[in-house]
Amino acid sequence: MRWWLPDAGSTFAGPIDALFLAILIITGIALVLVEVGLVTFVIRYRGRPGRKAFYTHGSTRSEVIWTAIPAVTMVALGLISNHYWVLIKDKRSVPPNAYHLGVHAKQFEWQVTYPGPDEKLGTSDDFTVRNQLHVIVNQPFAVELTSEDVIHSFFVPEWRLKQDAVPGMHITAWFEATKTGEFELGCAELCGMGHYKMRARVFVHTPDEYKAWVAQQAAGGTE
């Protein structure tokens, strides 16, 4: 049984998980405050014969306090979040040394196009593999997301990466995996009756492993 986010597998996981934890603490404090207050009041001020409620229409000072504190907290949270949001999603944040892969989504499979030995996408030695995503550990990658038919969503939980693939649009999503091994790529946007089985295997290799795999694929081999 897992009670937390999946194990961290990319550079995004650090800040996102930290932010998640921060929000959990803030909302946790608010939740405890409200629920404890509620239960305390409910017990303490339960109706008893002969008692009368305290007749008041409110207090401006309290209103100001409980308006200002959430407002300041939310604005601060927004500013911090925005910093990481830009880092992850903004086009200009894609590292210049990123390897580019093409990922074309269609009902119900992922077609991954690799640049081949020349490391350039859109040349004749490119090759396409169905439902297998191979990348190198500690190396920025950028996937060029497109869709054949309907909206799909590229989701690798360990990488904390999700990005819709929209027909008619070309969207770049980048990431840098930090853990080798095998993971899963799922579709997070309902794309039809086969949505649940739109699954690809994800392999994070060491550079040498990756090179060997590319060479094997370019030579027409299959895995």
Partner 1 sequence: MTSVAHAKPQGGGGGHDAHAPMSFWRKYIFSTDHKIIGIQFLFVSLFFLLVGGLLAMQIRWQLGFPGKPLPGGGILPETMVSGGVILPEYYVQLVSMHGTFMVFFAIMPLLVGVYANFLIPLKIGAHDMAFPRINMASFWLALLAGLIMTASFFVPNGPIRSGWTNYAPLAARPDLSGVTVGQMLWCISIVVLGLSSVLGSLNYITTVINHRAPGMTWFRMPLSVWALFITAILGVLALPVLQGAAIMLLFDNVLGTHFFDPVAGGQALLWQHLFWFFGHPEVYILILPAMGMVSDIIANGSRKPIFGYHSMVFAIIGIAFLGWIVWGHHMFMSGMNPTLGSTFMVSTLLIAVPSAIKVFNWLGTIWRGNIRFHVPMLNALGFVSMFTIGGLSGIFMAATPVDIPLHDTQFIVAHIHYVLFGGSLFALFAAITYWYPKMFGRMMSERIGKVHFWLTFIFYNMTFFPMHIIGMGGQMRRIYDPTIYTFLKPQQPLNVFISYSAFALFAVQILFAFNFLWSLKFGKKAPQNPWDDNGMEWSLPNPAPHGNWERTPNVYRGPYEFSAPEAGDKDFLPQYLKLPSDRDPVPAPLPAGH
Contact range with partner 1 by CB under 8 A, out of 94-102, 117-125, 167-175, 214-222? 167-175
Rule CB under 8 A: say whether 181 interacts with partner 1.
Answer: no
Rule CB under 8 A: say whether 51 interacts with partner 1.
Answer: yes
Q: Which is nearer to partner 1, 161 or 214 (CB)?
A: 161
Contact range with partner 1 by CB under 8 A, out of 37-45, 123-131, 205-213, 214-222? 37-45
Rule CB under 8 A: say whether 23 interacts with partner 1.
Answer: yes
With CB under 8 A as the contact rule, the residue among 25, 66, 211, 212 that binds partner 1 is 66
Answer whether 5's CB lies under 8 Å from 20's CB: yes
- What would the x/- binding string for partner 1 be over residues 136 to 165, using CB under 8 A? ---------x---xxx-x-x-xx-xxxxxx
- DSSP three-state, residue 131: coil
Give min distance, CB of 141 to partner 1, in A: 16
Answer whether 63's CB lies under 8 Å from 56's CB: no
Contact range with partner 1 by CB under 8 A, out of 8-16, 117-125, 126-134, 207-215? 8-16
Answer whether 142's CB lies under 8 Å from 151's CB: no
Residue (of 148, 127, 139) closest to 205 by Cα position: 139
Give min distance, CB of 75 to partner 1, in A: 7
Q: Map the footprint of partner 1 across residues 110-139, applying CB under 8 A.
A: none
- Pair of tokens at residue 162: 């999700």
Q: Map the footprint of partner 1 across residues 84-103, applying CB under 8 A.
A: 84-86, 88-91
- Pair of tokens at residue 47: 């109706």
Which residue type, as a one-letter code, is found at position 90?
A: D
Burial of 26 (0-12, 13-18, 19+ CB in 10 A): middle
* Distance in angstroms (rounded) separating the CA atoms of residues 175 and 183: 14
With CB under 8 A as the contact rule, the residue among 126, 142, 195, 209 that binds partner 1 is 195
Rule CB under 8 A: say whether 212 interacts with partner 1.
Answer: no
* Distance in angstroms (rounded) separating the CA atoms of residues 28 and 34: 10
